Chain A
């Protein structure tokens, strides 16, 4: 599904991300049993990371290894930021565990990405709003905003990266 998603099949990509979100939720929930409030935020952060870094997936590579490395990186990043010496000794190294369980029940995230989106500059916010939320084509968005087609594409791309950076700095 990811591979089809990478070649522009957005229905397959949607199904992939949805299933992945459920797996990530189960994975993080098990490892953040002391920090249950962080789980949904981290799921969203990891999904955004998977999306932003999807160009680093090599189709010859096992998907589980790629996803697990991203999930683990985001988890370690979170724990490092929170590190106050509350012993996190659980092993994080079981490669296939991201897909071992699934938890489709999406609870509310504490951090509201919609609010963070509002803080982006217009050249990034408007392309994301029109293309990614309203579902307009790049061409329509270009006409609507007066930005060039490539500026719209770049705005979406950079905007999502900026969103990920904002998430990191709001922790």
Chain B
């Protein structure tokens, strides 16, 4: 087939295209992913008993804001990476901001604490299960975010896969805050971050294979 024939073929009967496809796809992905994560959380883990009480504490909202901020920044980065020729702009900064804020808070908490209490602040009660739980909860959003990315046109596949995984981890962490009893900043700054990074690393590893177009 000659190129002119291809051009004619492509333009013949070309249907109109809905604008802002990327936003709609990621909105769908996050909706279903968050629903899946919530169901998994409700079935496997259960909502924390004292949620109503915890919701009155500023630290609960700091924790929530931390992971919600990461999720929001990942969405922005994912949207930009999914469209050819769109620069990342301030997206990496948006990702770094909640992370650095939480690390700074964790550092301040550790400095203020008695040396004997520091290990307890870092490890909490659930350090061994927290990253794994977040990883499990990230599976639905991981799948839907990859689906969203695959239907768009990322040109930096490893980065795009990593950010899709990061988004999945952050959404999972948001849902996990409804179960997780840990409230210490050093714990969050370590194990939440680790749990969010696991799906991100898997995404970066599989991105080049899954996202080619």
Complex contact A70–B155 (CB within 8 A)? yes
Q: Which of A48, A56, A65, A73 has the most CB of B within 10 A?
A: A56
Chain A 120-144 interface residues, beta-carbon cutoff 8 Å to B: 128, 131-133, 135-138
Q: Which of A21, A56, A168 contacts B3 (CB 8 A)?
A: A21
- Enumerate chain B residues within 8 angstroms of A132, measured Cβ to Cβ: 9-10, 12-13
**Complex Cα–Cα for A44 and B4 (A):** 9
CB distance from A73 to the nearest CB of B (A): 4
Q: Which of B7, B18, B152 has the most CB of A within 10 A?
A: B7
CB distance from A147 to the nearest CB of B (A): 15
CB distance from A124 to the nearest CB of B (A): 14
**Complex Cα–Cα for A41 and B206 (A):** 28
Which partner residue on chain B sits nearest A40 by CB separation?
B3
Complex contact A70–B153 (CB within 8 A)? yes
Complex contact A109–B3 (CB within 8 A)? yes
Q: Is A54 an interface residue (CB 8 A)?
A: yes
Which partner residue on chain B sits nearest A22 by CB separation?
B3
Chain A 1-56 interface residues, beta-carbon cutoff 8 Å to B: 5-8, 10-11, 13-14, 17-18, 21, 25, 40, 43-44, 47-49, 51-56
Contact A106 to B13, CB < 8 A, known contacts A61-B83, A65-B85, A73-B84: no
Which partner residue on chain A sits nearest B8 by CB separation?
A14
**Complex Cα–Cα for A18 and B8 (A):** 9
Number of A-B residue pairs, CB cutoff 8 Å, is 127
Residues of A in contact (CB 8 Å), total 59
Complex contact B84–A69 (CB within 8 A)? yes
Chain A proximity mask over B36-55: 1 for CB below 8 Å, otherwise 0: 00000000000000000000
Complex contact B21–A13 (CB within 8 A)? no
**Complex Cα–Cα for A153 and B15 (A):** 9
Chain B proximity mask over A59-83: 1 for CB below 8 Å, otherwise 0: 1011011111110110001000000
Complex contact A135–B13 (CB within 8 A)? yes
Residues of A within 8 A of B (CB): 5-8, 10-11, 13-14, 17-18, 21, 25, 40, 43-44, 47-49, 51-59, 61-62, 64-70, 72-73, 77, 106, 108-109, 112-114, 117, 128, 131-133, 135-138, 153, 156, 160, 164, 168
Residue contacts A-B, CB under 8 angstroms, 30 given: A5-B14, A6-B16, A7-B16, A7-B17, A10-B11, A11-B11, A44-B1, A53-B84, A53-B152, A53-B213, A55-B21, A56-B153, A58-B22, A59-B19, A61-B83, A64-B85, A65-B84, A65-B86, A67-B85, A68-B85, A69-B155, A73-B84, A106-B4, A109-B2, A113-B1, A135-B12, A136-B13, A137-B13, A160-B10, A164-B213
Residues of B within 8 A of A (CB): 1-4, 6-22, 82-86, 152-153, 155, 212-213
